[in-house]
Amino acid sequence: MKLTAHDLARMMDFSAVRTDVDEAEIRELVAQAKRLHCICIFPMPCYMPLCKHLLAGCPDVGLGGVVGFPSGAVATAAKAAEARQLLAEGAVELDMVINVGMLRSGRYDYVHDDIKAVVQAAGGTPVKVILEVHYLNDDQIRKGSELCVRAGAAFVKTGTGWTETGATAHNISLIKATVGSAAKIKAAGGVRDLKTLVELYRCGATRFGISHKSGAKILDECAALPGGAVEI
């Protein structure tokens, strides 16, 4: 099977969720998303109204909201309230961070209920649940993935992009072996070239969280290939 640059763009979430992102970068993010037709953009919550305004008239690019960024350690009620606020501001998808410390502590009921509260607040809007795998061992990744499925997550996501590692072939394969077809997988944290994206796709990831700069680079790589498509 071959995928064109447009096919890949429709698997990409362009994100700008670093602490130092300013309004100029947000405007650049939206401009690139509209030019390249990525499937969704994810800013930090304070930029939601601006992004909604800038995306007016561009229905093929969705607006996503991030919940509990970056640590995931805020109270469950605060996460649910943030989810409702993001939806009111136009979010069509939500990416939430689990409570990593509670998972590492074996507090599985807490983690499940934390995820479920956001899923319920989302009211049917897809929720991607971030494990932040950099801080987890294999058993914790498996358990976290199981809890995501039980709580109704649409996707299991590797990371926020704030840590040193995240999206690796090993981690994606481990999540895929755990969730099967019960949830989809989003790779984020370290997807910066076409080779990596293809490798992770083959392992089971179907969505990719990428900066708009890396996204443009990857799509240019693909477009430059013979026939303008990459073999998967």
The domain containing residue 123 runs over which residues?
2-12+64-205+214-231
Main-chain phi, psi angles of 98, to 5 degrees:
-70, 170
Nearest partner of 216 among 35, 51, 65, 55, judged by Cα = 35
117 domain residue, yes or no: yes
> Is 157 one of the annotated active-site residues of the chain?
yes
Helical H runs in 75-156? Answer: 76-88, 100-104, 108-122, 138-151
Task: For residue 98, tell me if it sits in a domain.
Answer: yes
CATH of the domain at 107: 3.20.20.70
In the chain, beta strands by DSSP E: 2-4, 12-16, 40-43, 62-67, 93-97, 127-130, 155-157, 184-188, 207-211, 229-231
Strands 229-231 and 2-4: antiparallel
Tally of domains in the chain: 1
Q: Is 196 inside any structural domain? A: yes
Q: CA 216, CA 210: separation in Å to the nearest integer?
A: 10
Q: What pLDDT, on the 0 to 100 scale, is given for residue 219? A: 96
Q: Which residues in the chain show pLDDT less than 70?
A: none
Please check whether residue 91 lies inside any domain of the structure: yes
Question: pLDDT per residue over 143-188, tens digit each?
Answer: 999 999 999 999 999 999 877 777 999 999 999 999 999 999 999 9
In a domain, 138, yes or no: yes
The active-site residue out of 79, 116, 157, 184 is: 157
Query: Is residue 59 assigned to a domain?
Result: no
Beta carbons within 10 angstroms of residue 148's beta carbon: 30
pLDDT for 44 equals: 96
Does 38 reside within a domain? no
Q: Which of 95, 114, 116, 143 is catalytic?
A: 95
Note whether residue 223 is domain-resident. yes
Closest CA to 98 of 138, 148, 146: 148
Structure tokens given for 228:
């303008």
**pTM given for the model:** 0.96
Q: Is 95 a catalytic residue?
A: yes
